[in-house]
Structure 1
Amino acid sequence: MQYFNLFAKYSQILLRSLPLIWQSAPKEVAFITFTMLVRGIFPGFGIWINKQIVDAVAGGLNSQQLDNYQSLFSLVIAWVGAILLQSILEPFYDASLRNTTEKLTVHINLLILNKANSFVDLIYFEDANFYNEIQLIEEEVNQQPFNLILFFGNGCQYLLNLVTMLVLLFPLGWWIPLLLLATSFPQVYFTFKIQWDLWTTMSSKSPQSRRMKYYSSVLLTDTYAKEVRLFGLGSLFRQRYQEAFDDKYQAMRKIRGKKALSLSIWEILSAGGSAIAFSRVVVQAVNKQITAGNILLFIQALNSIQTSLQVLVSEFLGLQEALIFMERVFKFLDSKPTMDLTVSNKNIPNPIASAIVFDNVSFAYPDGRLALEGVSFSLKAGETLALVGENGAGKTTIIKLLARLYDPSAGRILVDGIDLKQLDIDRWRQQIAVVFQDFCHYSLTVGENIALGNLTAIDKLDHLKLAATKAGIAEKIERLEHQYQTLLGKQFDGTELSGGEWQKIAIARAFIREQQAQLLVLDEPTAALDPRSEYEIYSRFSELVKGKTAILVTHRLASVSMCDQIIVLKAGKLIEQGTHETLLQQQKEYAYLWQMQAQAYQI
């Protein structure tokens, strides 16, 4: 029953996959289908012609006279034509298979990318199990579509060829094709059963495969190169790579041994069935019950059946891998949104007239970690707010909630009294310019890197220069050989920037958005900057945020004194709120942190 249910499930997946193949390359699929039919039928047709030719020649030799040369040469011409047609179609068939595979791979990739882009929040991307599934899809997306196409072409061809050969053998005795099928079926069945066990084991050991990949990356990429050499970590990660391999290998080795033993046993049964059938055909020939052509037909058909079964087992195993992959793909494509997007006709307040209010907001991550608990505050329009606290206090979570990358687990976020959930999410995000502390390095040109904050400015050099000037990176860009057309990043042999220069690019990306954005959010905007650059940014802070509602997240308390209000967070709770002077007078957490930094920097 278990295997029947699996067969039913994967049959449904196959039926759902076939339209994807057609949608990706309809012309190529039509040609592959035609060629597959020709390639599947013609071997049987050729064997039948061989039989007719041998019988005609043998008959002529026995009677010392060959009566019908025209008929004989017609058969020869038909045989040559069949071979010639297959030879002509072969290179076009291979090209069509490759083209279809590439198109299907891109088609599946685009479906995955479109689906991932439809997730408006971050919940899925921070779910470890879901992220693992995405990683597995990414690892196999360039191989498994080929297995799917290969089955559609070669698998169906050899299945048709198998049926054709069995039909040819039927006149020699109705029980011969049945015997060959009966003695071959156990081998096929147990091959699939053991392969399923192999796949189950591979899935259970997939963490070890990912560990091996990770340990390899530690030793082979520039990200870790300095520390690996400085701390002598090479032997440690080589050892852990070997341990992960050994754990995976032992489990796989046992199943492969079981597979080899089982298949050897069932191979004997299959060979026995072929021997019985062949013996019967030989006896019939000795008794002159069948012709010499029939003996040739049986030998060639039997050889073709064995080849077809071997290829079919191989193709079905490849299909099994492809369908497991497609199951993951369809599961991903069928994922339901985790955020409720209410269709609302309420306009985005522009400008924000009163305030953005966090009303008793709590938030827990998918793994149950409580990031915020009962946080309430009000950010008036045009004010600057500083979020202060230790790592993990909940500062960045507030930013993500405000950008609606999450929805609160409890409480509300109000914009001029309107629940943030009732505002159009895309239009609201256009009102926000953000520099996250874990900003991204894009392997694009300098201009494109900046313009990602506002794609309408991608061809507006004056806008790009203004944003770069505000971020303090304009002089560096002007010194580059191709200036704003300079490709950045090592991935495509571009120019690599320092960490601080990359951060300035990220800041410029926020400033390019300022004309349309009402809210400017700077999350540790100077973490990678040198003291001079940091001073320049903060000395111009009031100018940069002029006319904006701004939020500053930072550990450097010297920079928050210019803010209209400061919120102090600890373990997800708001513990203090006020101006710089007020909080110093209270002599609590903020004052304690200030005094520590004042002593360290001798402020």
Structure 2
Amino acid sequence: MQYFNLLVRYSRILVRSLPLIWQAAPKEVTFLTCTMIVRGIVPGFGIWINKQIVDAVASGLNSPQLDNYGSLFSLVFAWVAAILLQSILEPFYEANFKNITEKLSAHINLLILDKANSFSDLIYFEDAHFYNEIQLIEEEVNRQPFRLILFFADGCQYLLNLITMLILLSPLGWWIPLLLLLASFPKVYFSFKIQWDIWQTMSKKSPQTRKMKYYSSVLLTDTYAKEVRLFGLGSLFKQRYIEAFADKYQAMRKIRGKQAWNLSIWEILSAGSNATAFYRVVIKAVNNQITAGNVLLFIQALNNIQTSLQVLFNEFFSLQEALIFMERLFKFLDSQPTMELTFSDKNLPTSIASGIVFENVSFAYPDGRIALERVSFTLEPGKTIALVGENGAGKTTIIKLLSRLYDPSAGKILIDGIDLKKLDLNQWRQQIAVVFQDFCRYSLTVGENIALGDLTALEKLETLKLAARKAGIADKIDRLEYQYQTLLGKQFDGTELSGGEWQKIAIARAFIREKRSQLLVLDEPTAALDPRSEYEIYNRFSELVQNKTAILVTHRLASVSMCDLIMVLKAGKLIELGTHRDLLQQQGEYAHLWQIQAQAYQI
């Protein structure tokens, strides 16, 4: 019953998977189907012609003169034509097969990209289990579709070939095709059972496989190269790799040995059945009940049947792996967005009048971690607010909620009295310029990296230059060989920047959209900058946020004294709120943090 349910499950996935091939390449699939049918029938046709030729030759040897040379010539011509047709089709078949594979991989990739892009929030991407599923899909997307097409093409071809051979054998005795098939069923069944056990074992040992991959990456990638050599970690990670491999290998070796013994036993049964059928055919030929051509037909057909069964057997288990991938893919494609997008007549204020209000906002991550708990504050238009606190206090979470990368678990975020959930999401995000602490480094040109903040600026060189000057990176760009056309990043052999220079590019990316945005958010904007660059950024901070509502997240309290309001967060709670002077007078958490940092600069 377990295997029957498994077969039903796989059948459903296959039925849903095959239309994807047609959607990806309808013309190529049509051609592939036609060539597949020809390739499946031609071997049987060739065997039948061989029989006719042998019978004709045997007949001629028994008579003083062969009467029908024209008939024999026609048979030879047909035999040559069949071989030639298959040979001519082969390169076109291979080229078409590769074209379909590439198109299908691209089609599935686009489906994945569209689906991932449809998630407006970050819930799925910060859910470890779901994100791991996405990673597994991404790793297999260029390999598993090949198996799916291989089953469609080769599997169907050899199935057609098998049916043709059984039809050719049926005139020799109705029981012969039946015997050959029945002898193969036990082998197929037990092979399926053992293969299923292999899959289960591989699944249980998948953590060891991931560990092996991780240990290899530690020794082979530049991310860890410095510490591995400095601390002499090579032997440690090599040993960990060996231990993980040994654990996986022992389990797989045992089950593969079991598979080999079982298959050997059923091969003996299959060989006995083949011998019985062959013996009966030979006896019939000796007794002149069938012709010599029929003996040749049996030998060639039996060889083709064994080949077809072996290919189908292998293709089935190859298909099984592909269907497991497709099931994972469909589960991802069927996942529903967690963020509700409402469409109403409430327009985004062109200029925020009363301010942004957090009203008893709480938030918990998918793993249950509470990031914010009943936080309330008001950010008035044109004012600058600083978020201060230790790591994990909830500062970045507030930024993500304000950007609506999450929705609050409880409470409301109001924009001029309107719930943020009721505003057009894209319009709202266009009003925010953000520099995240974990900013991105894109393998694009300098100009493209900056213009990602506002794609309408891609061809506006002066706008790009202005943003670069505000971020303090313009002089560096001017010294590059191709300036704003310089490709960045090592991935495509571009120019690599220092961490601080990359951060300035990210800051420029935020400034590029300042004319369109009402809210500027800087999340640790100087974390990777040298003291001089940091001083320059903060020295011009008032200029940069002029006429903007701004939020500054930083650990460096010397930079927040210029802010209109300072919020102090601890363990997800707002514990202090006020100006720099007010908070120092309160002698609370902010004053304590200020004194710690001030003492670090005392000589």
Query: Where on the TM-score scale, by shorter chain, does this alignment land: which range?
Result: over 0.9
Query: Which has the larger displacement, 185-194 or 113-122?
Result: 185-194
The answer on 1:266 being equivalent to 2:257 is no
Corresponding residue for 2:56? 56
Partner AA of 2:366 in structure 1: P
Q: Within 5 A, what are the aligned runs for 1:204-353?
A: 204-353=204-353
Partner AA of 1:213 in structure 2: K
SS of corresponding position for 1:207: helix
Corresponding residue for 1:439? 439
Q: What displacement does 1:285 show?
A: 1.1
| CA distance in structure 2 between the aligned counterparts of 1:120 and 1:598, rounded to whole angstroms | 42
The answer on 1:142 being equivalent to 2:142 is yes
Q: Within 5 A, what are the aligned runs for 1:72-87?
A: 72-87=72-87
Corresponding residue for 1:186? 186
| CA distance in structure 2 between the aligned counterparts of 1:201 and 1:344, rounded to whole angstroms | 52
Q: What displacement does 1:75 show?
A: 0.9
| CA distance in structure 2 between the aligned counterparts of 1:131 and 1:560, rounded to whole angstroms | 36
Query: Which has the larger displacement, 452-461 or 127-136?
Result: 127-136
Q: What displacement does 1:207 show?
A: 2.0
Partner AA of 2:161 in structure 1: N
Q: What displacement does 1:602 show?
A: 3.0
Partner AA of 2:509 in structure 1: R
SS of corresponding position for 1:552: strand
| CA distance in structure 1 between the aligned counterparts of 2:411 and 2:353, rounded to whole angstroms | 22
Corresponding residue for 2:583? 583
Q: What displacement does 1:26 show?
A: 1.2
Structure 2 segments unaligned to the other structure (5+ residues): none
Q: Within 5 A, what are the aligned runs for 1:447-526?
A: 447-526=447-526
Corresponding residue for 2:529? 529
| CA distance in structure 1 between the aligned counterparts of 2:462 and 2:68, rounded to whole angstroms | 89
Runs of 4+ in 1 over 6 A off after TM superposition: none
Corresponding residue for 1:399? 399
| CA distance in structure 1 between the aligned counterparts of 2:256 and 2:311, rounded to whole angstroms | 19
Query: Which has the larger displacement, 212-221 or 162-171?
Result: 212-221
Query: Which has the larger displacement, 474-483 or 11-20?
Result: 11-20
| CA distance in structure 2 between the aligned counterparts of 1:207 and 1:400, rounded to whole angstroms | 32
Partner AA of 1:422 in structure 2: K
| CA distance in structure 2 between the aligned counterparts of 1:55 and 1:589, rounded to whole angstroms | 102
Q: What displacement does 1:456 show?
A: 0.5
The CA RMSD measured in Å over matched residues stands at 0.9
Q: What displacement does 1:584 show?
A: 0.3
Query: Which has the larger displacement, 499-508 or 261-270?
Result: 261-270
Partner AA of 2:243 in structure 1: E
Length-normalised TM-score, structure 1: 0.99
Corresponding residue for 2:358? 358
The answer on 1:12 being equivalent to 2:24 is no
> Alpha-carbon deviations, 1:228-280, whole Å to 9, x = none?
11111111111111122122212211221111111111111111110111111
Partner AA of 2:35 in structure 1: T
Corresponding residue for 2:558? 558
Q: What displacement does 1:63 show?
A: 2.1
Partner AA of 2:374 in structure 1: G
> Alpha-carbon deviations, 1:411-450, whole Å to 9, x = none?
1111001001001111110010000000011000000000
Length-normalised TM-score, structure 2: 0.99
Q: Within 5 A, what are the aligned runs for 1:25-36?
A: 25-36=25-36
| CA distance in structure 1 between the aligned counterparts of 2:464 and 2:207, rounded to whole angstroms | 45
| CA distance in structure 1 between the aligned counterparts of 2:602 and 2:417, rounded to whole angstroms | 44
> Alpha-carbon deviations, 1:368-399, whole Å to 9, x = none?
00011111111011110000000000000000
The answer on 1:114 being equivalent to 2:106 is no
Q: What displacement does 1:204 show?
A: 2.1
| CA distance in structure 1 between the aligned counterparts of 2:384 and 2:480, rounded to whole angstroms | 35
Q: What displacement does 1:544 show?
A: 0.3
Q: What displacement does 1:343 show?
A: 1.4
Query: Which has the larger displacement, 220-229 or 437-446?
Result: 220-229
Partner AA of 2:33 in structure 1: T
Q: What displacement does 1:65 show?
A: 2.5
| CA distance in structure 1 between the aligned counterparts of 2:596 and 2:259, rounded to whole angstroms | 67
| CA distance in structure 1 between the aligned counterparts of 2:207 and 2:439, rounded to whole angstroms | 29
Corresponding residue for 2:423? 423
Q: What displacement does 1:64 show?
A: 2.6
> Alpha-carbon deviations, 1:280-306, whole Å to 9, x = none?
111111111111000000000000000
Q: What displacement does 1:90 show?
A: 0.3
| CA distance in structure 1 between the aligned counterparts of 2:516 and 2:193, rounded to whole angstroms | 61
| CA distance in structure 1 between the aligned counterparts of 2:300 and 2:367, rounded to whole angstroms | 62
| CA distance in structure 1 between the aligned counterparts of 2:344 and 2:507, rounded to whole angstroms | 32
> Alpha-carbon deviations, 1:480-510, whole Å to 9, x = none?
0000000001011000000000000000000
Partner AA of 1:55 in structure 2: D
Partner AA of 1:152 in structure 2: F
> Alpha-carbon deviations, 1:308-339, whole Å to 9, x = none?
11111111111111111111111111111111
| CA distance in structure 2 between the aligned counterparts of 1:244 and 1:519, rounded to whole angstroms | 50
SS of corresponding position for 1:63: coil
Query: Which has the larger displacement, 184-193 or 267-276?
Result: 184-193
> Alpha-carbon deviations, 1:99-150, whole Å to 9, x = none?
1100100100010011011111111011111111111111111111111111
Percent identity, aligned pairs only, is 82
SS of corresponding position for 1:265: helix
Number of equivalenced pairs: 603
Query: Which has the larger displacement, 192-201 or 38-47?
Result: 192-201
Q: What displacement does 1:359 show?
A: 0.5
Corresponding residue for 2:601? 601
| CA distance in structure 2 between the aligned counterparts of 1:45 and 1:487, rounded to whole angstroms | 59
SS of corresponding position for 1:393: coil
Corresponding residue for 2:541? 541
SS of corresponding position for 1:434: strand
Structure 1 segments unaligned to the other structure (5+ residues): none
| CA distance in structure 2 between the aligned counterparts of 1:260 and 1:132, rounded to whole angstroms | 34
